[in-house]
Amino acid sequence: MAHPHAVWPPALAPGARVALVAPAGPLGDAVELARAEANARALGWEPVVAPNAMARAGYLAGDDAARLGDLDAALRASDVDGVWCLRGGYGLMRILDRIDCDALAARPRALIGFSDITALHLAVAAHGPSADVKLVTFHGPTARGELTPFSRDSLARAVVAHVDSCGPAPGAVTLRGGRATGRLAGGNLAMLAALAGTPYAPRFDDAIVVLEDVTEPLYRIDRLLRQLVLAGAFTGCHAIVFGHCTDCPGQEGGEGHLSLADLVRDVADALGVPALLGVPVGHIAEQWTIPLGARAVVDADEPSLHVESPAP
């Protein structure tokens, strides 16, 4: 089977205009928006704050029309070079079928965010320019976050320099040894499972699957993984790379109890693929930016994950 060609968006060079949008959950206060603007400027970009960036409607960053309007305006704007989501939370599923992904396909630009933003990454993947061409989007820190030097460097390597944004993972645990090459896919486990059975369902053929989650008890992680297994999402995948499950009770296991490592290893063993646990991905201070759709090589014995740079 032929695998889709990955198209990287243009690099976000100094002076790039980057839209700051909140398509899911709301910001906590004006301090977070100010930090997001400062983060953009620290990377050499000019922040363009969406009109409804500070809106709130319960657990959403404004009503559906406001969030969709801000996101579509950024995707359609001829003078916007990238879109950086202010935060995750929840909300993208409510507008997913109305987002103008064709505008991004027509003029690729960097799209950055993680957690609930996984839904947006999947929507873009489902609406590539063609079946043979898929856009690279970036599973990376949200704009409001306090970027450590590690996270800022990985983000810049991914979206500015277009070089390997990952590397050795000395803190990771080898669950199943081996080496594999594939396209990078995945994101937040809960969002991936929530979209199974929809037009945006994840498909991990030819993929190194990168996963993370937050505040999910271990039995729910088990259920989410099993849902994706039963949906056939993992069919044809080449490796599983789990980052962190932050504030997930019971993940260490213990006598008479399964651990997160046990659950991920079970899936990897059934698929016969290499697997790592604990790479710097997820709701953590120091995280890699993952260029979803790009080619990469994982070595579960080393352990490491290396992203292939786009062809010049």
Closest Cα to residue 93, out of 196, 18, 186, 21? 196
Note the helical H segments in 52-188: 64-76, 101-106, 118-126, 149-156
CA–CA separation, 270 and 257 (whole Å): 20
CA within 13 Å, CB half, 227:
17
The question of whether 154 is a catalytic residue gets the answer: no
The answer to whether residue 255 is catalytic is: no
| Cβ-contact 115, 188 below 8 angstroms | yes
Sheet holding 290-292, edge to edge: 46-49, 17-21, 82-85, 110-113, 137-139, 290-292
Burial 253-275 (b: 16+ CB within 10 A, else e): eeeeebebbebbbbbbeebebbb
**Per the residue annotation, which of 151, 165, 283, 304 is the catalytic one?**
283
Instruction: Dig out the tokens for 260 from the structure.
Output: 């997160």
Nearest to 246 by CA among 275, 209, 203, 217: 217
Q: In degrees to the nearest 10, what's the CA dihedral of 119, 125, 128, 131? A: -140
Spot the catalytic one: 37, 139, 151, 212: 212
Note if 212 is an active site residue. yes
Out of 115, 151, 165, 304, pick the active-site residue.
115
Q: What's the alpha-carbon Rg for the chain, to the nearest Å? A: 18
Active site residues: 115, 212, 283
